[in-house]
Amino acid sequence: MTNAELIASLAGPLFIAIAAALLINRKSVGGLVTGVLNRPEFIFFSGILTLLAGLAIVRTHNIWSGEWTLLVTALGWACVIAGTMRIIWPEYVTEVRSAALKNENTVTVWALVVLLLGAFLTAKGYALV
């Protein structure tokens, strides 16, 4: 198993679970995301974890190739950037998130995108395709 497959086998099911929670519990998850999880203190703390996850991915798989594994590298760098932004500008991230979540359809669209990404990564990570 390659590093890309290992990372995909971990991230894929996580993304599926998150997307399922967003789609099944849209009202309660929406309140959670706009409530406690939208506080700058939580954004800062989640930024530390997001940066750590991104650095772990980039450190183990930083291969810019034309294959599906490029998605794993891009995911790692996206986590590095997002985590850094959350640590440095937690209030700004809170404002952006609040603006994005005003429309309930935005959450549904992102959940579907995350679900598809999770399904793809799971299939690649577990060698289903």
**pLDDT tens across 76-90, in order?**
999 999 999 999 999
Task: Tell me: pLDDT of 75 over 90.
Answer: yes
Radius of gyration of the chain measured on its C-alpha atoms: 15
Q: pLDDT value at position 36?
A: 75
Domain extents in the chain: 3-124
Query: Is the confidence at residue 106, as pLDDT, over 90?
Result: no
For residue 124, give both structure tokens.
Answer: 């690649």
Question: What type of residue is 122?
Answer: T
Tally the C-alpha atoms within 13 A of residue 56's C-alpha that lie toward its C-beta. Answer: 10
C-alpha–C-alpha distance, residues 73 and 76, integer Å: 5
For 26-52, the pLDDT digits (tens) are 777 767 766 777 788 899 999 999 999
pLDDT of residue 97: 81
